[in-house]
Amino acid sequence: MRRPYLSALLLVALATPAFAQGEVNVYSSRHYDTDDSLYKTFEESTGIKVNRIEDDANVLIERMTSEGELGAADVFITVDAGRIGRADLAGLLQPLNSDIIDEKVAPELRSPDDHWTAISTRARAIFYDKASVENPPQTYQDLADPKYEGMICTRSSSNVYNLSLLGSIIAHDGEDAARAWAEGLKNNLARDPQGGDTDQLRGIVSGECQIAIANHYYFARAFRSEVSGLTEGLDKIGVVFPNQETTGTHVNISAAGIAKYAPNVDNARAFIEYLLTPTAQELIANGNDEFPVVEGVEPAPEVTQLGSFRRDELNVGSFAMNGDVAQRIFNEVGYR
Ligand code: FE
């Protein structure tokens, strides 16, 4: 006798991450080569099985929203504070309640409501053609100076990295100054915004741009492995970590939080605490050439060689929440 409902149940069981004790369901928009060892080390040291669901952050946010109280997500991991900020605004996270996290991670790298924490950081830096730019911009504000007209390449305004950068300028200087900056930057562009951060750096090598804005790791990784159109021209490119005399360089984060309806809250907390151990920090930071958030752990040599800098100590939460205002301002000034 056929029992179709049983096979249907079995299918559901196989397709759904388990709710049982001894497991943790990680929804992550990060996927790097080192992630396998990262998860495996946690499983071996705790006996807690990690079920990974990896997808684009917005897809995961939609999934968690539609799953609601019946959701399987325990931990949500994403890159860029703007994205975890979106999840938080959507009510998808709960307090971390961890003394270990509070002790290990600087307060400005955690959300003020204790709903997420940084697990690594990335700097938004200025790159320039050493041969043609004698006085490169030393601040984000300089990028709007008419003397750089027609020289700058950066990606589209809808990209979350640019939204977070403008979000930080809004938080520091207010909306009017942020609008003037966005307009000045738009007027200095060498071409219509296009491509990813690597493409802006390639623009310097090809001569299409003299100045580019990009996250530091897109540059660092090209020293380690061949990036077409970039690695061969690395020695042409100089790097500036901006705003050293003023607010410090804008840093963004990879972040983790506990899902609002996490079925395995204790395991979720244990997993995030594990992400802050020296072993995990090394794997996380080296997986994408990012900076560790825990003291005593060194970044990769490709990153260290870029030089040290002072980071902006504005709470990442304050620009994570400014994404919508930032997009409106970019639209108002006609920055595509
Ligand atoms: Fe990136």
Interval 80-98 mean pLDDT: 93
Which class for 312: exposed (0-12), middle (13-18), buried (19 or more C-beta within 10 A)? buried
Question: In whole angstroms, how far apart are CA 293 and each of 99, 118, 163, 285, 313?
Answer: 16, 7, 22, 9, 13
pLDDT beyond 80 at 15 = no
Write out pLDDT tens, residues 224-241.
999 999 999 999 999 999
> If you measure from the C-alpha of residue 162 to the centroid of ligand 1, how many angstroms do you get, rounded to a whole number?
11
Supply the pLDDT for residue 35. Answer: 85
Supply the pLDDT for residue 31. Answer: 82
How far, in whole angstroms, is CA 201 from its chain's centroid? 18
The full set of domains in the chain, from first to last, is 8-121+251-302 (3.40.190.10), 122-249+315-332 (3.40.190.10)
> In whole angstroms, what is the distance from residue 17 CA to residue 300 CA?
34
> If you measure from the C-alpha of residue 272 to the centroid of ligand 1, how many angstroms do you get, rounded to a whole number?
21
> If you measure from the C-alpha of residue 145 to the centroid of ligand 1, how many angstroms do you get, rounded to a whole number?
26
> If you measure from the C-alpha of residue 303 to the centroid of ligand 1, how many angstroms do you get, rounded to a whole number?
15
The structure's pTM equals 0.89
> If you measure from the C-alpha of residue 215 to the centroid of ligand 1, how many angstroms do you get, rounded to a whole number?
7
Q: How many CA atoms lie within 13 A of 208 on its CB side?
A: 16
**3-state secondary structure at position 56:** coil
Write out pLDDT tens, residues 125-179.
999 999 999 999 999 999 999 999 999 999 999 999 999 999 999 999 999 999 9
Q: From the CB of residue 240, how many other CB atoms can be counted at a distance below 10 Å?
A: 20
**Percentage with pLDDT > 70 across the chain:** 94
> If you measure from the C-alpha of residue 239 to the centroid of ligand 1, how many angstroms do you get, rounded to a whole number?
17
Question: In whole angstroms, how far apart are CA 70 and each of 8, 12, 63, 260, 325?
Answer: 19, 14, 11, 11, 32
The pLDDT-based confidence of 10 (bands split at 50, 70, 90) is very low
Supply the pLDDT for residue 17. Answer: 53
Interval 51-73 mean pLDDT: 95
pLDDT beyond 90 at 5 = no
**Maximum CA extent, the chain:** 82
Residue type, 162: N
